[in-house]
Structure 1
C-alpha cells in the first residue's frame, strides 16, 4: 500500500500521465522523459517519504527511490497506463528533444538499462570461473567449465543481438528486424569467413573483413539508421502488405549496408576510442586513475557515466581487458566507505539506519542511495569519498589494474580483476574503502545536536497559504466564530486570485455541497478546514466549483476549488478565505510574520504537543 501511495503521489507531481512520454526504471531510479519538466513539482517529490532525491540529467527526469524502485514503478506504470505502446509511438518526436549529447546519453542508458543486471551477473560468473581456474579447481577443458562459461560468456558473445532488440525498442522500430540485423552480423558462416581472412563481396563490392561478436557501436549505428529508413519504407507500401514487406525491405537493405559501410565505420570508431582511452591511460596511468576514481560518482550524478559503458565493452572486445572498471570500483568503494563512516558516527536513528543499509547495497555496486541520501546531504562526506576514490584510483592506475569481463563494479567484480596488476588493484580498492571510512568519520560528518537527540520528537508540518492574497490574523475577520478561534487557530487571506489549492499534502475529508468550504487531513494528521468567504453558504454554490472528491489524495498545491471573489463581493458577501486547524488542541501553532502570500508561502507551522518541548508561537 505504501508503494501504491508513493507511486500515485509521484505520478501526480510529475504532471500526470499526460505529461509523460516515456518512463522506465534502473536499479535505483525511475527515469522519465517528460513533455514539460516545468510541470513537475520537484520540491514536493523530493519531500515525499520514500524518495531520496530528484535528478535532472541527460534529458531525463530521474526520481531516486533506492532498492524498492521496482515495487514503486509497477503501480506507477499501471496507474499511468504506460503499457500503451501505441501512445508511446506517437510521441517519438517529443521524446527526442534536447541537445545531441543529452539524446546520445538517453539512447545509451535506455539501451543498456533493461539487461544491465543480466550483463553484470554474467560478468561475475566469468570472474568466478577465472578464480576457480587460477586455483586449479577447474580446468578450461572440463565439462563443468564449458557449461558455466557458456552461461557467462554467451550474452557478451551475442551482445549485438541483445542490443539490436533494446535499441530498436528505444528507437521505436521493428524489434525483430533489429535482432535480425544483429543476428546477421554474428551469423556463423560469415564469422568463419571473416575469421579465416577470406575475401567476400556483395554485388561486386568488397566487404571489409571484421568480427562483430561482442561489438557495440556497429549495431547501435545500424539501428539509428533504421529509425530513419523504416518510416520511409512504410510510406511506400500500402497498409495491407506493410507487415510483410516493410521487414523484408528493411533486412534487404540494412544487412548489406551494415556489412559494407556501417559495420566497418562502427568498428573503426570503436578501435579509435579504445586506442584513445588506452593511450591516455598508458601515458599517465596514475592521473587517469585519480580522475576516474575521484570523479566517477560525479559522472553518475549527471548521468554521463552511461557514455563509458560502450567504451568498457569495446575495450573488452578489442583487447580482452578493460582499464576503466577497476578505477570506477575505487569510486564505488570510497562512497561505500563514507557511508560506513557516517553509520559508525551517527547517533540519529534514521541517519544510522539509512547509512547502514546503503553501506550494504554500496558493496554490491548500488551507490545512488549513498550519494543522494548520505554523502551529498552532508557534503563533506562526499568530498572525503572523492579524495579517497582518487587516491585508490591512482594506486590502481599505477599498478595497471584491468578487468577481464563487464560487470556492475562492486566487491563481486573483484574476481574479474585477476591478472595484470591484481595485487595493486586490491590495495587500491582497500585504500579507497578504508580511507573513505576514516576521513568521513573524523572530518566528513558532523551531526547536528538537535538531530542526534530528538529522534522521537515529531516533525513540524509546514502549511502553505491556500491562495494568493493579503494575510490577516483571524481576530480581524468579521465573523465571531472565526475571530474568537472557536473553530480553531489559523489564518485568514483576502484573495487576489480565484483558485484555492491544498495547503499541505493529504486526503480530502469533507466536501460541502455548496462548495464554499472543504476539509482535509494532512499526511501527518493535521485537520484543516478551508472556508471561502463569510456567510457564503447562502449563495448555495453560486460562483464556486469544487475540483476534488471526498477521500481523494492530493499533493500540496493541488487545485481544490475555483471561485469568483469579485462576483461574491458584488453579491454583498466578504470573500475572505479562512484556514483553520480544527484539531488545534493537539498542536502548538506558529503563524508567519508575512503580510502577503502566494500559494507557495508558508503561513503556519504546526507541531504536535510533546512534554518538555518548547515551541514559540506568534499567536
Structure 2
C-alpha cells in the first residue's frame, strides 16, 4: 500500500478534520492533538500499513511511523484544514478531555507541578530548622532563625502569586494582571484590616476577613473567573482605548470580586477541605492512611499525587498533616527497599544499575518515579510488595496518629519534618515506620521474586547458518563486524529500559541508549549525514560501511522546537568519527521537564545478523557502544 493510501487510513482512523485540533510530527511519529481520543480504535490504527505502533503521551495521540514520517505528514495535511502547530490551541484540548474530575485533576496538577521545586526547597529548609532547634543548636529568638524562617516560608506565603502565574498560563489570561490580583489579596493593607478583626466594607459591599497568604483554592478560582471577565472586557472595550481601559477595568472588577465574592468562596472551600481532613483524622485515620499508603504508587503513576497538594496545604493551615505526607513516607521508602532487593539479587547488569540508582533516589529524596517505572511497575511483584508493606505501615500510622509538621517530600533525609517538641513520640513513630517499611518490603520482594531474565547470548540466523554473537568473538575482531562508537560521554544502558515504547520495543530497530554527562555529541563513525531534523534533537547518519543510525537526544524533545540545541552539521555533510555533530544544554532540557536519555537506533537492523551492545557501563566518544554483525 502506498504512503498516500496509508495516510488516508490514518486520517480517517483518528476522526478526520472534525476531531483534529492540530498535527505536528517529530523524527519518528505523527503527533495529533485530538478533541476526543476515545473514538479512535488503537488496534485498527496499528494494523494500517506503515504504522509501527501508537502511544498516548502528554495529551497527544502519537502514531509511530519511523523514518518516513515526514512523507506521511505531508500526505495527511493535504486531507483537511487544521493547525499544524500547537501554539493556537496549546493546553485547551487537554482541559476539555475527560470527565469533570479528570479536568479538575489536570488543572490542579498543571498549576501545582511547576511550584513543586520551590515547595520542596522551602519545606526542606523548614525541616532543617526543626532539626536545629530540636537539638538546641539554634535559638528560635535569634536573627538567623528569623531570616532562615523567611527562606522556608516564602514559597508557601506567596503561593497565591506563583499560582496566579501558572493558572493564568493554563487559562490563557494576562499573567501580569493575574499576579496583580493575587497581590491585592495578600497586600499588607488588606492583611492589616484582617488582623484588626473589625468589619470591613468596600463601596458598601461586605469584605470577608480571610487570610489569603499560603492559600491555594481562592486564587485558582479567581483566575478561572478572570478568564471570562477578560473575554467580556475584550468584547465591550473600544479598540482605540483598550490599552488603557482594559487593564484598569480588569484590575478593578477582579479586585472587587476577589475580596467580596470569589476569595471568600475559595476560603470556605479550603475550610471544608480542612474539616474533611480533620474528620478523617478523628474518626477513620487508620483506614484512610492505610489505603492512601497502599495505593500511593498507583496515585503517583497517574500523576495525581500533586493534585492532592491543595488538600494538605489547606489543611496544614489548621493542623499538621496526618494523611498524605505520612502515607508518602511509607510508600516512598518501600519503593527504595524494593529496588534495593532487586539490585542485590538480579543477575542483569542493566537492571542492577537502574534499581540501585532508583533506590537511592527513593530513600534519600523521596523521588519514586525512577523506582516505579524502572523497576517495581516493570516487574509487578515488587510493586505488590510495596503496596502490602505500605498498607500495613499505614495501619500503624493511623493508630498512632503520625503527623507531619512541615511540607517536604517524605524520605529518610526529611524525617525531621515529623519532629515536634510537644510530641516527642511522633518522630520515633516516623522512624519506626521508615525502618519497618524498608525491612518488610525488602523481605517481601525477595519472597515474591520477579521475572528477571539474565542477559542472554544473542543469536541470529542468516543464510540458513546460525551465528552466535558473543562479546568474546566481537572483541577478537569478528569478520565484517562494524563498530558504532558512543556519540557522547555517559552511562550506557540497554534500549529495552528506555521509557518510550517506540525505542524500548525496538519498533525502529535495535540499539542502545546513553544517559549523557556531556553537552557535546560527536559522530560515532565516518559516514554521511542523512538527516538533521529541523528541531535539532535528532540526527540520522549512514556509515561508510552501511550502518544507518538514528541519534535521538532526549525523549519527546521535539516539543522544545530546537530550543537548547545547536547543530554543527547539515544534511549531506561528510563526517569522520569524532567530528562534532551537535550541542545540547542538558540542564535546560531537564529543567523544561524532559528526559535527556539519548537513544542510538540502527534503523536498518534487518540488513544485519545482529546488533550487540558493549558490556561497558561507562562510555565516551572513544568507546564502542554497539557492534553490528
TM-score over 0.5 (shorter chain) = yes
Corresponding residue for residue 429 of structure 1: 434
Task: Give the CA deviation at 1:226.
Answer: 0.6
- How has the CA–CA distance of structure 1 residues 580 and 171 changed in structure 2, closer, same or farther, with 3 Å as cutoff? closer
Q: Segments of 4+ in structure 1 off by > 4 A?
A: 33-43, 53-57, 59-62, 89-93, 458-461, 505-511, 519-522, 524-528, 549-552, 579-584, 607-610
Corresponding residue for residue 95 of structure 2: 96
Q: Does 1:442 align with 2:447?
A: yes
3, 26, 30: which one pairs with 1:15? 30
1:78-477 aligned within 5 A? 88=87, 90-91=89-90, 93-99=92-98, 100-321=100-321, 323-363=323-363, 364-419=365-420, 420=423, 421-447=426-452, 451-454=453-456, 457-458=457-458
- Give ranges in structure 2 of 5+ residues lacking alignment: 1-23, 47-53, 63-82, 462-505, 512-526, 531-539, 550-570, 575-602, 612-625
Mapped partners of 1:581, 1:202: distance in 2: 73
Mapped partners of 1:233, 1:209: distance in 2: 28
- How has the CA–CA distance of structure 1 residues 209 and 452 changed in structure 2, closer, same or farther, with 3 Å as cutoff? same
- How has the CA–CA distance of structure 1 residues 388 and 105 changed in structure 2, closer, same or farther, with 3 Å as cutoff? same
Mapped partners of 1:459, 1:182: distance in 2: 64
- How has the CA–CA distance of structure 1 residues 423 and 176 changed in structure 2, closer, same or farther, with 3 Å as cutoff? same
Residues 552-575 of structure 1: CA deviation (Å, up to 9, x unaligned): 9xxxxxxxxxxxxxxxxxxxxxxx
What is the TM-score with the length of structure 2 in the denominator?
Answer: 0.62
Mapped partners of 2:356, 2:510: distance in 1: 31
- How has the CA–CA distance of structure 1 residues 314 and 36 changed in structure 2, closer, same or farther, with 3 Å as cutoff? same
Task: Give the CA deviation at 1:54.
Answer: 7.1
Task: Give the CA deviation at 1:322.
Answer: 5.0
Task: Give the CA deviation at 1:97.
Answer: 2.1
- How has the CA–CA distance of structure 1 residues 587 and 54 changed in structure 2, closer, same or farther, with 3 Å as cutoff? closer
Task: Give the CA deviation at 1:96.
Answer: 2.4
Q: Secondary structure at the match of 1:15?
A: strand
Task: Give the CA deviation at 1:408.
Answer: 2.4
Mapped partners of 1:304, 1:228: distance in 2: 27
Task: Give the CA deviation at 1:348.
Answer: 0.6
Task: Give the CA deviation at 1:506.
Answer: 8.8
Mapped partners of 2:218, 2:604: distance in 1: 65
Mapped partners of 1:580, 1:189: distance in 2: 69
Q: Is the 8 A contact 2:458 2:610 kept in 1?
A: no
- How has the CA–CA distance of structure 1 residues 294 and 581 changed in structure 2, closer, same or farther, with 3 Å as cutoff? closer
Q: Secondary structure at the match of 1:279?
A: helix
Task: Give the CA deviation at 1:247.
Answer: 1.9
Task: Give the CA deviation at 1:102.
Answer: 2.0
Corresponding residue for residue 623 of structure 2: none
Q: Is the 8 A contact 1:132 1:138 kept in 2?
A: yes
Mapped partners of 1:355, 1:331: distance in 2: 16
Corresponding residue for residue 596 of structure 1: none
Corresponding residue for residue 50 of structure 1: none
Mapped partners of 2:507, 2:264: distance in 1: 61
Mapped partners of 1:459, 1:105: distance in 2: 48
Corresponding residue for residue 562 of structure 2: none
1:534-549 aligned within 5 A? none
Task: Give the CA deviation at 1:460.
Answer: 7.2
Task: Give the CA deviation at 1:281.
Answer: 2.5
Residues 172-230 of structure 1: CA deviation (Å, up to 9, x unaligned): 11111111111111111111111221110012121121111111100000001111111
Mapped partners of 1:272, 1:583: distance in 2: 65
Task: Give the CA deviation at 1:289.
Answer: 1.7
Q: Is the 8 A contact 1:15 1:39 kept in 2?
A: no
Q: Secondary structure at the match of 2:209?
A: coil
Mapped partners of 1:394, 1:223: distance in 2: 39
Q: Secondary structure at the match of 2:30?
A: coil
Mapped partners of 2:353, 2:247: distance in 1: 54
* CA-atom RMSD in angstroms: 4.1
Task: Give the CA deviation at 1:284.
Answer: 2.5
Task: Give the CA deviation at 1:436.
Answer: 1.2
Mapped partners of 1:374, 1:243: distance in 2: 55
Mapped partners of 1:411, 1:580: distance in 2: 47
Corresponding residue for residue 493 of structure 2: none
Residues 322-349 of structure 1: CA deviation (Å, up to 9, x unaligned): 5321211211111111111101110110
Corresponding residue for residue 497 of structure 1: none
What is the TM-score with the length of structure 1 in the denominator?
Answer: 0.63
Q: Is the 8 A contact 1:173 1:230 kept in 2?
A: yes
Mapped partners of 1:298, 1:320: distance in 2: 24
Residues 519-549 of structure 1: CA deviation (Å, up to 9, x unaligned): 9979x98679xxxxxxxxxxxxxxxxxxxx9
Residues 341-361 of structure 1: CA deviation (Å, up to 9, x unaligned): 101110110111110111111
Task: Give the CA deviation at 1:246.
Answer: 1.9
Q: Secondary structure at the match of 2:318?
A: helix
Mapped partners of 1:459, 1:110: distance in 2: 47
Q: Secondary structure at the match of 1:275?
A: helix
- Give ranges in structure 1 of 5+ residues lacking alignment: 1-8, 22-32, 44-52, 63-83, 462-501, 512-518, 529-548, 553-578, 589-606, 611-619
Residues 57-97 of structure 1: CA deviation (Å, up to 9, x unaligned): 9x6789xxxxxxxxxxxxxxxxxxxxx9x963554643422
